[in-house]
Structure 1
């Protein structure tokens, strides 16, 4: 355990600083997706922000620690912000750099967006390999924009400015 972290994260191979207890929680019908426990890489040249993601649904409670957000990449907030309320064909997909957090977006009639949130740790766990997916639906305008703004604030820690580039969409 890292004695400097109140969240009880085990000491990883990367030195990190616990930032705060800020959270972003998105709730759907009997489903929630929670982002929390922000940590920053300790080295001044390492521009990674780490956090935990927890998904809950009836009969499911899955948590993934050490999710990485590289501040030089296009983040989840930017992906959500780019989902046009007028719609699109097929599925849009965002994957973080470690490929352990995946979000798939599908536009539905009536201005609704379905988001499938998948946690799939790339590190092997004492519990073996696992994957958990929950699906939420939201209004494609103001509700989606509010979630994108909250995640932008969450994923941008002071001293860790976000620099966008066009890479992580598929």
Structure 2
């Protein structure tokens, strides 16, 4: 399940909750843009015993962003074999997707800020969503969030 919501300061964001365990979630928040070529935002992962955040993730307008990747997954709601993956240009965020029987998509969200830095860290959570409507809703929410639009 996804939802567009504002935080305490009423800034837009997107929350993806795992339908199997709603305490597992991914939050896109704190979006800003310094120029016409990029969008910056933060991603938070939350699960029992885990809180991780990557600040200033960058989406470049000339790169393939997250929305088209999610759109392809939503369009293939009947399923696929194997794993599909996407990552930001600098590798701060990676998303891998698998399809399981019953029409559900498992999205494993991995944060790895500063992947080249010594002593860096990695954190992952997996959210399960319905392959059809929930994936289509997530795609729309992410597209609006990255574009800075209200739905």
Q: TM-score interval w.r.t. the shorter chain?
A: 0.7 to 0.9
Unaligned runs of 5+ in 2: 1-9
Does residue 13 of structure 2 align to residue 23 of structure 1? Answer: yes
Q: Deviations over 1:105-156 (max 9, x none)?
A: 001111100000000012677x931000000100000000000100000011
Q: Using the alignment, how far apart are the partners of 1:35 and 1:124 within structure 2?
A: 23
Unaligned runs of 5+ in 1: 1-19, 159-170
Q: CA deviation at 1:71?
A: 1.4
Aligned to 2:91: 99
Q: Deviations over 1:32-79 (max 9, x none)?
A: 10001111124x5xx010000000000000000010111122211110
TM-score, scaled to structure 2: 0.84
Residue from 17, 28, 36 that aligns with 1:35: 28
Q: Using the alignment, how far apart are the partners of 1:21 and 1:155 within structure 2?
A: 13
Aligned to 2:70: 80
Q: Deviations over 1:12-41 (max 9, x none)?
A: xxxxxxxx8110001111201000111112
Q: CA RMSD in A?
A: 1.8
Structure number with higher strand proportion: 2
Q: Using the alignment, how far apart are the partners of 1:122 and 1:95 within structure 2?
A: 14
Q: Using the alignment, how far apart are the partners of 1:77 and 1:110 within structure 2?
A: 24
TM-score, scaled to structure 1: 0.75
Figure out how many residues of one structure are paired with residues of the other and give that number. 135
Q: CA deviation at 1:157?
A: 3.0
Q: Report which of the two structures shows the higher radius of gyration computed on alpha carbons.
A: 1
Change (3 A) 1:78 1:128: same
